[in-house]
Structure 1
Amino acid sequence: MLPTFPPGQLVSRSVAGCLLVATMAASLAGCATPDRLATATAYPEDFRARYPIVLTESPTALDIFPSARGLDKSNVQRIRSFAADYLVNGQGPIVIQMPNNGGGGYSIGRSAVDQIRQQLHASGVKGYVQVGTYLPNDPVQASPIRLSYVGLNARTARPCGEWPRDLASGSSMEGWENKAYWNFGCATQSNFAKQVADPRDLAAPRGETPGDVSMRTRAIGRVRMGDDPSVKWQVRNSSIGSAGGN
């Protein structure tokens, strides 16, 4: 709306121009007012975007429960597998902690620590091994010997179990859309990250290995002789397959 002035009142051109500009600016400002309707915050539909897998430097631990006779075959296999993972992803020293809860368990643990160090050395671990103690939280429970190192691990960027939105709210339409709920797919991502043998494979592919020279020579020789270079697999019925009388 343009400004009006009382009859008979003289207004200079400069004042009238300023009032006209101010009125037009107010009108344009009213047109530029944003919509007051609040829109719900959208979240990524793909669970790989909600729970991406990241590489972190975090500790990896292994608990060993030795007996009075020392390490058994099962413990030896666990220690060797732990050492193999350390050689691939670990850095720095390996820390061995014994429970310091008194009694005869300390002497048994000290003997087992020497055996653990021997198994680590036999598995190719040449670095420094630190030995210490820790105080168990509950002296009644069995206290293991704990091996740990800091290395490269894969995990989800945020933990599972987050529920920022209702699955089916009674007071609104939130959760009634045909969309995946927030925590959907987190367990899949977390389990996949734990099962990867080498976390670096998630960042970049491995380099190609040389071809099989003997297999290539065999195929070329077959082609030169005019034979089929493909491998012919023979399928034989097992005892289970022949149980039906075939």
Structure 2
Amino acid sequence: MTTATGLAARGRPTRASRRLALAAVCALALTACDRIRQLEMERNAEAVAMSSPEVRHPIGFAPRTETLDVEVPPGADGLSPNQQVDVYRFLRRFRREANSRLVVMVPTGARDRAAIARSLQGIQAQVAEAGIDYRILRGTRHAAGEDTPSIRLSYRRPVAVPPPCDDWSEDVGRNEARIPYPNWGCATQRNLALMVDNARDLERPQAEDPRSAERRSVTWSAYVGGDAKSDKDAGSDAATKKTPAPAASK
């Protein structure tokens, strides 16, 4: 006869109580195993972070404004050839590295408004041909130290900021924990930030340029005409086209 507490009449645990106790012990063991596994995963994540230069010494980014001043001398009939080249190059740089809208600042209060209008029309034509969205701001805009008014083109782009590499607080000769020293990987990150030409390459992948239409036409013509050759055939042809050795003199 058993009591309500799960004990036999003589005070011994019943079979059901033993099963419950065993299940509780197993559940506790599984919980402990899960906790140990979670701690190991956290330690591994910390170890990976401490061994990654990108995490320990991240490269920062700061905005920078790029400008181009197009001077408008009195009586100017649009843009000069040199100014057209300057605007073209500036727009190419804008498409490659800008992360903002193109701004065109037009001077006001100048005497020769017709010359400014003609120069602005030339700039707008090049911007429209490049397919770039822009906005026009009107205000006083003169070249530095000169009385000649100028039309300013500007945009903002990111600049890579190198991390500081000045933490030599630990002894690099003795490390029982095998943890990288504080400056580990910093020089690589710093050199990369100083050398990169376009900081947008570090932020996200750039779009691919279209393939050459001329080269595609040549390749397709060779394929259709049956002249397409594999690398193996090209190598054999190169071997057969070698200059033969001169005949031995009699």
* Structure number having the greater helix percentage: 2
Same fold, TM-score > 0.5, yes or no: no
TM-score (norm. length: structure 1): 0.43
